[in-house]
Amino acid sequence: MGMFSGWVGQLVNARCRRDSSGRLVFLPQGRCKAAYYLDSDADYPKVKAPVAIYTLASLLFQMLGSTAALVISVGASSEHSGSLASKMEFVLILYFLSAFTLQWLPMWLLWRLYRALLPELCSSLQQVPPESMKDLQTLPNMTRRGALIVAAVALFVMAVILFLVSRPQCSANPSVTISGTVIRNCAAPLNQPECSPISEPLGCEE
């Protein structure tokens, strides 16, 4: 529980900075939007809970939504026949549609809810003047390196899955028709009778 609380605290600290005087500054929507001072001991816990919930929910939508979209695309591609280019096009279109429904749209709705709560959340906080926004210093945060590693691993796994899906698949028993006669291309083991040209029904000589 202590490790999880520390990790949540790091997620919240990712939205905080310190000005030149050492005061803690809260950036709810990034550096281009309004910022607020967290001077009292009650200010940080006040913003920690909603920011942590929003950040964790966003991460869950990113991971679960992208994974579900990838699984749906890969599963549907196995039933799609055609050339490699058409198969890749089908996978990409289906992935973007699935990602929009399961990841991007829920994240956008979550962001709208979070933005609607900000005025009430920051109503009692002192706003940082624009001249103090230039010298803000980043707090030490170990979650950024972990996020980059997770993103790199996810991209690698996605590339491997797309490579496996795009590999051409050979049929087990291809048939060739020559002058109205069906020839089955069976791979017979050594010392076993080979397949011979027959008419329907198909079969091998004994």
CA distances from 143 to 4, 67, 138 (A): 12, 21, 13
Nearest to 102, CA basis, from 149, 126, 68, 137:
68
Q: Are residues 195 and 107 in the same domain?
A: no
| Same structural domain, 51 and 124 | yes
Question: Each residue of 155-195: pLDDT tens digit?
Answer: 777 677 666 655 655 544 545 544 555 444 444 444 545 54
Whole-model pTM: value is 0.62
pLDDT at residue 106, as a whole number? 93
Dump pLDDT digits (tens) for 142-158.
555 665 666 677 677 76
Q: Are residues 101 and 184 in the same domain?
A: no
Q: How far out from the chain centre does Cα 107 lie?
A: 12
Tell me which residue range forms the domain holding 84. Answer: 2-166
Same domain, 64 and 128: yes
Query: Quick one: which of 65, 68, 69, 51 has its CA closest to 8?
Result: 51
Domain count, the chain: 2
Whether 137 and 181 map to the same domain: the answer is no
